[in-house]
Each structure stands twice: as structure tokens, then as C-alpha cells.
Amino acid sequence: MANSELINHSALRLHVLLEKGEITPLDCLDALEERIFEVDPHVNALPTLCFDRAREHARCLMDKSIAERGVLGGIPVAIKDLTNVAGVRSTQGSPIFANYIPDTSDLMVEHIEAEGGVIYAKSNTPEFGAGANTFNPVFGATRNPYNTSLSAAGSSGGSAVALATGMAWLAQGSDLGGSLRNPASFNNVVGLRPTPGRVAFTRGGRFDSSLSVEGPMARTVQDLAFFLDAMSGDDLRDPLSKPRPGTSFLKSIESRNKSLRIAFSEDLGITPVDREVRRITRQAAEQLQKAGASVEDAHPDVSDAYSIFQTLRAQSYAIGMRDLMRDHRDALKPEVIWNTEKGLALSIADVIHAELARTALMQRVARFFERYDVLICPATIVPPFPVEERAVMSCEGKSFETYVDWLLIVAVATLAGCPAISLPCGFTKEGLPVGLQMIGPANGEAKLLAAAHQLEMILDLKTDRPILPRVTHIKS
């Protein structure tokens, strides 16, 4: 089978071919290596490759029976460069760790490999994942394949671009302030922030933090559910991790519920949103309504989300970055320094107020989901912006004070502890992707994925097929 044909397959179709023995994991790696050579110079999504390690793992899998190869059965997986992979350069996008090669993998990587995932590349990320534009001083910027002069968003930007361009069938990412959802929106792929604990990972800093989670990215909802099945499960080393549900997520999306109760909001009442993004996301909501879902304009009261998010995000930076600030301040980008200093300046009263307010917000959102199955809104407030701009600093005439203000619409699900998916829902007049954020109640991934799959079929945007980058010269 030609490599180009394999690249065009979905992950699920690839899995069928692997199970039948019509292809091997080595064939998949050969196809990816050829595609990366062709495509990545234009987008810079996968700066670190580990094909020798991948082929060694693939051969070990091929020595096992099909039934022993795990959920993924030999499908290659790209891992974000914030996550350690044993024996592979893991930089976190920082010059401090530019040459760091860990001896052990993150336990999430261990789970993926135990389920037959073959790690072949590390995807690009902003420095320490800070900021929703993927650039760093180690590898440079990752570019949007729909227009290479524009941002891929972040912080899982490399993963999203690899998927969109056929350099990955499945890719992992992480999410605190929309880092799975923003790049999915900008690159016309699917990204899921799961309920905290759904995916076990190696925890650092404050072990019981539920702000940052690990999650799957793919080109379709079915592929994403398939990958989530492989990623989910408890582990003694992560006390917050949850057991796998009795029914697989892939199977759960087969139950199409046309009587869904859906709340739609253009802005959650808290943020400006680009007019074209408003129009496109509302059209998607109307499509769901025409298909039989009940859709109402409504959203929970999340009016204090901004102050809560700013405080708790800063606290997480103070915990995670304090020592690096002390020892390597000159090597940190200004956004990391600002966020860490903000956290170190917090009083105990500030943190208590934010924690109590977050709990109240979570309770309001939980009550809201007693009336609705899914809340939908834009995944990002703007279409892709110029790659040289560090962050979005204004929208529809409103200026922002900080580099994370434009992420408020995705911060709500983070604060509420809810699963949230970014699903492609249309294109601007310039042909740039727009994502719809679909939020479900805590632990409600199954129903959320079913709703997303239903809308995906209604919109029929053909996201299962990768594109070649549309190379545009950057303005000087």
C-alpha cells in the first residue's frame, strides 16, 4: 500500500488494517517519515523525531499476537514536548532544558506505549506551555497549515498541525487554559480536555491540582474517542486518576441522541468575540437544532471566572516555576516571569477567595447541567492571527491587559472541572478554521463525545483528510 494512501486513512481504518495484518506498524512509520520530510519544513510541528526508538518498539509489538498489542495495536503517536519520553530529547521549549534527555517516561507515555502506541516524535510547544501561540527559543515557531504566516495557537500547537497535515494520526496534548482546544480550533482538528483524573500522568508541584490535564487530539471524533480509550485508566502513582469506564468511549459515541438539550452562548457573557466567529458558531448551533436537538440561548453565571482564573493560574506558576525563576531567570520568557511573579505576590487571602469562588462556580455550572446536556460556544474568540504576534491583545475594540485574557472562554471549563471538546465547525471568508467548544458535565465525556460526533456528521467538513500547508510569506 502506498505511503500516501496510508496518510489519508483515519486512525480507526489504520487499526483495522493492522489487525488484519495487511500493514505493519513499520509501514505506518515509513509513511510518516516520508510525510514529515515533505511537510514539516513548512510548518515546524515536529522538531524532535525518534524513529529508531519507534521502530524498535514496533518490532517488539510485531513479535506479539494481535490480541496482545493493546488498544492502539501499533499506531504511531506524537507526544507534546512538555512530556518526558525516555531516551528522547525533551526540552519543554526552554533553553534551560534544550539538551535534556530523560531516563524515564511520564506515566501517561507508559500507558500509551502499553496500549500499543508507538512514539515517533515530540511536537512543538511554547516555552513551558505558556501562551496560546506555539513558538520558543529552542525550535522557533509552528505555523498554521491553512496559512503559514499565521499562528497555530497553543500550547499543543505542534500536535494540532501534525494532525492537520497528515504527520500524525493521533497526538497527545495538555490543557490548562485551552491548550488542547485553541490549537484544535485554529487547525481544523479535534481536541478534548477531559475531566481531571480521566488521564493519569506524572504530577509535579501541587499534586492535587485539577487545572492542568492531559488529553487526546485527532482529526475526527471517532479517532479521538479511540485514543481516549487508550489514554484513560487509573494508576497508583496518580492519586487523582479514575478507572476506565465499563463502556468504551468509542462505543459510547454510537448512541446518537437527537433529543439533546443544548445551551448555546456566543460569549458566555464574559468576553468579546470576533463577529465572524460568532456567526459561524451560531450557524453550527442552528444545524444541531434542525437535526432535532433542543437548542436555547443560555449560559451559567461565570461572571467571576476572570479573577478566579488569573489568581489560580498565577498560583500554579509560582509553585511550578519558583525554583527556575531563582536559578534561571535570564533564560525565561517575559510571560513566564510575569505569571510567576504574580503568583509569588499573592496573599493567602487572595488564594482562599479564589478557591472558594471556584467551588461556587463549579456548583453553579453543575446545577446548569441539570437542565442541559451540553453547553456550546466558540472555542476561540478570534480566527488565526499573525504568527509574529505573541498573543491576542484586543478583540472587537476591547484591549486586553494580559497575554491570557483572550483565553477566558476556554478557562470556564477548566475552572468548572468539566470535559470540553473543540470541534471544527466552519471557515471564515478567508478560509481559516473556526472551532466550536462543546462542554459537558464533569465525568460526562461519553455523552459529550456522542453529541460532538452527531454534529460532526451534520456539518460534514471532511476533517478526516489531511491538507498540504498553504505556504504564505510572512510580512517583513
Q: Are 377 and 409 in contact (CB under 8 A)?
A: yes
Q: In the structure grid, which three cell numbers stand for residue 284, read together? A: 453550527
What three-state secondary structure class fits 122? strand
Q: Which amino acid is at 377?
A: C
C-alpha cell at 420: 470540553
The answer to whether 78 touches 172, Cβ cutoff 8 Å, is yes
Among 90, 94, 151, 155, the one annotated catalytic: 155
Q: What backbone torsions phi and psi does residue 77 show, to the nearest 5 degrees?
A: -135, 135
**How many angstroms from the chain centroid is the CA of residue 134?**
13
CB atoms within 10 A of CB 378: 28
Active site residue 290: no
420 touches 190 (CB < 8 A): no
Q: List beta partners, residue 297.
A: 264
**Maximum CA pair distance of the chain?**
63
Q: What's the half-sphere exposure (Cβ side, CA atoms, 13 Å) at 56?
A: 5
Place of cell 503559514: 148
Degrees (nearest 5) of the Cα angle 187, 277, 8? 25
Q: Which residues contact 178 (CB under 8 A, 6 or more apart)?
A: 132, 193, 379, 380, 407, 409, 410, 411, 414
80 assigned to active site: yes
Cis peptide before 105 (omega within 30 of 0): no
Contact 233, 198 (CB under 8 A): no
Residue 108 burial by CB count (10 A; 0-12/13-18/19+): exposed, middle or buried? Answer: buried
The set of cell numbers assigned to 31 is: 509513511
Query: Looking at the DSSP assignment, which residues form a beta bridge with residue 78?
Result: 121, 171
Grid coordinates representing 218 are 485527532
* Cα 51 to Cα 142, 194, 235, distances in angstroms: 21, 29, 28
Residue 255 annotated as catalytic = no
DSSP, residue by residue, 273-316: --HHHHHHHHHHHHHHHHTT-EEEE-----TTHHHHHHHHHHHH
Question: What's the Cα-to-Cα distance from 126 to each of 116, 123, 153, rounded to whole Å?
Answer: 28, 10, 9
d(CA 52, CA 29): 10
The single-letter code of the amino acid at 216 is P
Annotated catalytic residue, options 90, 179, 185, 209 = 179
Nearest-angstrom CA–CA distance, 55 and 464: 26
| Catalytic machinery residues | 80, 155, 179
